[in-house]
Amino acid sequence: MTQLTTRVLIPIAHEDDAERTCDAIIEHLSSEDASSKFTIVHVIEKGGGTPDKAPLAAREDQAERIFSLVEQRLQAAGYETESRLEYGTDVAEVLSDVAVDIDATSLVFVPRPQGRLSRLLTGNASTRLISDAPVPVIALPQPTDDEDD
């Protein structure tokens, strides 16, 4: 059986998510998992006929900042990384397609905080991702805050 952390897909939404996800990966994956290859994916969600949320160039710049942050943190911890910028109207569907394309062994993420109203209006992407993913999904807990020690 292939180890779940051999080829990991890691979706990242924004800079704060990148920090949380890197902290959680470093905290929860053992050092023997350092042989894993991580594919970092940021999806620029297109409007599908409606105006986009922000200018495309600004969103691509944000993606580059995200990739730089994640690559620096995870490579410093000994992990091999690659980054992919994707575009689509359905983030969960795009991530499922990428998982198949890269032959991922798992998808790892930290669930993002979301209010009840937002979940009602937009649906819960985490739930869709977990239920529709073509590979096992590992939801890491929020990293612990060591600054209070």
Q: Where are the beta strands (DSSP E) in the chain?
A: 7-11, 37-45, 80-88, 106-109, 137-139
pLDDT, position 47 = 75
Judge: domain 7-142, CATH 3.40.50.620. Answer: yes
Residue with tokens 């590992």: 138
pLDDT, position 115 = 57
Cα dihedral sign, 68-35-101-23 = negative
pLDDT, position 99 = 97
pLDDT, position 29 = 79
Q: 111: which residues sit within 8 A by CB, 6+ positions away?
A: 126, 139
pTM of the model: 0.84
pLDDT, position 123 = 58
Which portions of the chain are predicted below pLDDT 70?
1-2, 30-34, 51-52, 113-125, 145-149
Chain segment 86-96, per-residue pLDDT in tens: 999 989 999 99
Domain boundaries, the chain: 7-142
CA–CA gap between residue 7 and residue 2 (Å, rounded): 10
pLDDT, position 130 = 79
Ramachandran category for residue 132: left, alpha or beta (phi over 0 → left; psi -120 to 50 → alpha): alpha
